[in-house]
Amino acid sequence: MPKLTVLPHADICPEGAVIEDAPAGESICRVLLAHDIEIEHACEMSCACTTCHVVVKQGFDSLEDASDDEEDLLDRAWGLAPTSRLSCQARLTDEDLVIEIPRYTINHAKENH
């Protein structure tokens, strides 16, 4: 099983986290949520928003390529980087990953309430 390291995020994961038992084939988003790291996922992981955007700091090349739909959405993500992915779409392989959750998201649902 790969190890998923989450760099510290002031609100979601202040101390950072190391998830030793991340199952290969599972999305990054589901693994985070299963370990009480409450990353936003406004579209319920249907690849329709950018709230679960993460930047892969290590292990990016081990992930399958992003779909055209994911790439189109990422263009709208806050803090976009060359190694950005939607965590609901990026599935773990056998390689360890290090990710950073950007400080902000573009969440229209929250902005309107």
Q: What domains are defined for the chain?
A: 4-111 (3.10.20.30)
Give the whole-angstrom CA distance, residue 109 versus residue 106: 9
C-alpha–C-alpha distance, residues 110 and 71, integer Å = 23
pLDDT tens digits in sequence order for the chain, 113 residues long? 899 999 999 999 999 999 998 999 999 999 999 999 999 999 999 999 999 999 999 999 999 999 999 999 999 998 999 999 999 999 999 999 999 999 877 664 444 44
Stated pTM of the model = 0.90
